Structure 1
Amino acid sequence: MDINFYKYQGTGNDFIMIDGRSFSLGPDPIPYIQQLCHRKFGIGADGLILIQTHEDYDFEMCYYNADGSQSMCGNGARCAVAFASFLGIIEHETSFLAIDGAHTATISGNSVALRMGDVKEIKTVDQDFFANTGSPHHMRFVNKVEEYDVVSTGRQIRNDSEKYPEGTNVNFISTLSPDTIMVRTYERGVEDETLSCGTGVTACALVYGEQKQKNNINIQTPGGNLQVSFEKSEDGSFQEIVLTGPADQVFTGTISVN
């Protein structure tokens, strides 16, 4: 089977994009996804995204992690918006469906501002924190996150079956200035550190913003810079959450898979 694909990246989080409006990976797409995302034997990516038609929205984003599991991906969704714009499905604004529900977004140049889903609460886990921003995220504040052992510590927390029977993503945070944090993330489904994680930096911005009484946070990741703004309601939930950052097409091609 020959597959036409596009490669996109959002602050180093990279994705294989496929126009799925008239194409299907078949009833069991997982082996294809694992092969395509493999960095030695395939194209190589943190995940794969199919853009599909939907009668009630501009498009539907079907996101798969590199291991074939499904989740919400903030950077992937921003890249999906850029891809939909490239395909001529949308212009500057869009409403689309993802695994966690409906989202809206705007695009200007290579900058995509994505409206995330509301977050009910931030939970305390021992000395750390947890929030679900469309995907589950454990968060820990550390000193000098650039020197921290993200992979081994993240893998240990991710596989803590007592606390997280279904696993979790794990984020490590350091404060750089009153309005800026640095975040590194160990991603479930990739099973390694990624250069950036959109749902992860969103969760980190919420917990930092709540502590510091700020609602517009700049986030540095190993792959680039993002911004998160939000509003906190009287019941303690977080609303009007917007994740903003770049989304770029890297290359395109055709690959044959068995």
Structure 2
Amino acid sequence: MRVPFTKMHGLGNDFIMLDAREKPLPPMSEGIARALANRTTGIGCDQLIVLEPSDVADFRMRIFNADGGEVEACGNASRAVALLHGSAAKVETSGGLIEVEPTDGGARVDMGIPRFEWEAIPLAYAMDTLSMPVAWGELENPAAVNVGNPHVVFFVPDADAVPLDMMGPGIETDPLFPDRINVNVASITGKDSIKLDVWERGVGLTRACGTGACATAIAAMRRRLTGRKVAVTLPGGTLTIEWDANGRIIMTGPATESFRGSFDWGDYA
């Protein structure tokens, strides 16, 4: 069975897009997703995205990380989906409904309302999520935010000085985080600007993480470190994040189609 795919990226965070809205695919498994994501023997990606029919939205977006695990949300992939779909749409995700709309060179995404309750992150036990009384070496007192998926955010003087490639795995898998966690290390560079590096759950260091940019911006706003609209700069580029008057997170940024192709499903099943 030959399956067409579209390879896309948002600020270098790359995706394999499979469109099963009209022609169903065989069931996706962790093993197949991991094999397709492999950069040596597969197509290669940070996330595999499967578009399917939905009873509650225009369509459903399923998200599989490079390790094969299915996750709730992906901001950069949401912009890529908007570009691929070609018009405004409501999209069902495991993390809730989002709204996407293509713009020149990218998309605007309504990521919904952030959650801060410790059970919603989730954490293993109750604590203040605005300034958590925990530390991992030099990284201490983070904020936790769920923006469809779970994030912990550390504010430091110089994000580039933190060895996130070494510290990220231990924080991601700490027992404090039952569903594991995305790890964000950020520096405030101005009243409306943030520098950010992200260790992404199930992926590792990434050039960009849309939900990480959203979570970090919201954490900075809750701490009154920035205004309600900020530019978040990641290694792959910059996203604009706004926390609007209705409490919803609005993310705007680029997305790009790289190429199209096809593969034999049996080679990866």
Are 1:25 and 1:32, in contact at CA under 8 Å, matched by a contact in 2?
A: no
Query: Does structure 1 residue 133 correspond to structure 2 residue 125?
Result: no
Output the CA distance in 2 between the equivalents of 1:254 and 1:120.
39
Determine which of 103, 108, 111 is the counterpart of 2:106.
Answer: 111
Query: Does structure 1 residue 21 correspond to structure 2 residue 21?
Result: yes
Q: CA shift at 1:55, angstroms?
A: 4.0
Output the CA distance in 2 between the equivalents of 1:19 and 1:135.
23
Q: Given the two structures, how large is their TM-score scaled by the length of structure 1?
A: 0.89
Structure number with the higher strand fraction is 1
Matches within 5 A, 1:174-193: 174-190=187-203, 192-193=204-205
Q: CA shift at 1:28, angstroms?
A: 4.8
Output the CA distance in 2 between the equivalents of 1:173 and 1:77.
23
The Cα offsets for residues 132-153 of structure 1, whole Å up to 9 and x where unpaired, read as 1111001111222123211111
Query: Does structure 1 residue 124 correspond to structure 2 residue 137?
Result: no
Are 1:14 and 1:46, in contact at CA under 8 Å, matched by a contact in 2?
A: yes
Alignment correspondent of 2:254: 246
Are 1:51 and 1:84, in contact at CA under 8 Å, matched by a contact in 2?
A: no
Alignment correspondent of 1:57: 57
Are 1:209 and 1:217, in contact at CA under 8 Å, matched by a contact in 2?
A: no
Q: Which runs of 5+ in 1 are unaligned?
A: 86-90, 234-238
Q: Which runs of 5+ in 2 are unaligned?
A: 117-128, 134-140
Relative to structure 1, the CA distance from residue 141 to residue 232 in structure 2 (aligned partners, 3 Å threshold; closer, same or farther) is farther
Q: How many residues are paired up?
A: 245
Among all aligned residue pairs of Structure 1 and Structure 2, give the percentage whose two residues are the same amino acid: 30
Alignment correspondent of 1:33: 33
Determine which of 89, 97, 100 is the counterpart of 2:95.
Answer: 100
* C-alpha RMSD over aligned residues: 1.7
Determine which of 176, 193, 200 is the counterpart of 2:212.
Answer: 200
Q: CA shift at 1:63, angstroms?
A: 1.2
SS at match of 1:116: strand
Q: CA shift at 1:101, angstroms?
A: 1.6
Relative to structure 1, the CA distance from residue 151 to residue 2 in structure 2 (aligned partners, 3 Å threshold; closer, same or farther) is same
Letter in structure 2 aligned against 1:42: G
Alignment correspondent of 2:4: 4
Q: CA shift at 1:106, angstroms?
A: 1.7
Output the CA distance in 1 between the equivalents of 2:248 and 2:179.
28
Q: Given the two structures, how large is their TM-score scaled by the length of structure 2?
A: 0.86
SS at match of 1:54: coil
Alignment correspondent of 1:155: 169
